Amino acid sequence: MKNHVWRPLFVVLGLVAGILLFRLVYVPADFGTQEQGYTFGFHRLGNEQEWKDYPAKYKNNSYCTECHDDKVKSWEASAHAIIPCENCHGAAFGHPDKPEKLTIDRSRDLCIRCHAKLLMPSSGRNKIAGIDSEQHNAKTECVECHNPHNPSLEDM
């Protein structure tokens, strides 16, 4: 074979060898899928306890019920019951101490994430009531007319 074929081949083989050597030195020996296979994906076995000890940033809805049972009951009876509280109210990490009150995202963009009208009839997302955000009260925040804890089809 000619040199114009061998040179690039050696360059590619050198790069592959360099990458494998770098990986051998850089990746810890306990990194992999471990005994559970791909259940937890690739992770470092020596790091598991560190992650178990790390405080959870997100809580579940039962955490909110402890203090806000009236709001949670109203929300559970609504069409939004499948959406965790923290999707709109932010992470409950450190609440109620820090911050004393969670920030509430009342922006139109938050609602449009789920309620934008889609033009794909095969999507399961089309079961959610959608609006044309440029036509439907374009300059108004959704919460000025709709109660997110108790939305009804009449509101839409």
Go through 50-66 and write b for each residue having 16 or more CB atoms within 10 A of its CB, e for each that does not.
eeeeeeeeebebeebbe
Quote the number of domains for the chain: 2
138, 80: one domain:
yes
Task: Name the residue range of residue 46's domain.
Answer: 3-53
Residue 68 shares a structural domain with residue 129? yes
- Please indicate whether residue 6 or residue 38 has the higher confidence score (pLDDT): 6
Within a domain: residue 76? yes
- Co-location of 77 and 137 in the same domain: yes
| pTM of the predicted structure, to 2 decimals | 0.55
DSSP structure class, residue 71: H
Which pLDDT tens digit goes with each residue over 76-119?
A: 888 888 888 888 888 888 787 777 777 777 888 888 888 888 77
Q: Are residues 25 and 86 in the same domain?
A: no
- Residue 119 DSSP code: -
Instruction: Note whether 135 and 115 are same-domain residues.
Output: yes
- Amino acid, res. 137: N
The answer to the question of residue 154 being in a domain is: no
